[in-house]
């Protein structure tokens, strides 16, 4: 278990050092980029995250229906749990910790969650594209 935790942390740090984290901490994002202030950006990102989570929940449900065995459904549940841990360690852990004293810290965390949630939705769609779109 300790080795798994070290691996997850190492991979997260590698991703952050590869440009993702630098962009996130500098206010990167593809949504809510034209707000007048941090408060408006945060409100926009909260709304965007709700939309992204709704889309992912729908896609997850669509994929779950395709999986015909209990074993495959359990694998999907484990995969989703691992993804949620990754989001927590990346967005709430590394970004929040590094930006906690910055006024845009919470906006960066929300932006991170929006981006990763959208990516997960796309990943689920790509993994099961043919059965989902046939």
107-116 b/e with 16+ CB inside 10 Å = b? bbbbbbbbbb
- Three-class SS state of 33: coil
H-run or E-run covering 123: helix 105-127
Taking the domains of the chain in order of start, what are their residue ranges? 2-133
For residue 72, CA distances in Å to 13, 40, 76, 124 come to 30, 42, 6, 14
Its pTM surpasses 0.75? no
Q: Which residue has the tokens 């689920």?
A: 124
Listed range (5-14, 34-43, 54-63, 93-102) with the worst mean pLDDT: 5-14
Taking all residues of the chain, what is their mean pLDDT, rounded to a whole number? Answer: 79
């Amino acid at each position: 278990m300790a080795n798994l935790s070290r691996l997850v942390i190492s991979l997260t740090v590698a991703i952050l050092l590869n440009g993702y984290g630098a962009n996130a901490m500098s206010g990167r994002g593809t949504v809510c980029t034209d707000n007048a202030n941090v408060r408006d950006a945060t409100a926009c990102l909260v709304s965007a995250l709700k939309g992204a989570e709704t889309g992912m929940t729908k896609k997850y449900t669509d994929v779950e229906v395709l999986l015909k065995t209990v074993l495959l459904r359990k694998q999907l549940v484990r995969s989703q749990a691992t993804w949620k841990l990754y989001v927590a360690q990346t967005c709430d852990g590394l970004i929040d910790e590094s930006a906690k004293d910055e006024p845009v810290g919470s906006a960066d965390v929300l932006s991170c969650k929006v981006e990763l949630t959208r990516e997960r939705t796309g990943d689920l769609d790509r993994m099961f594209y043919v059965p989902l779109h046939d």
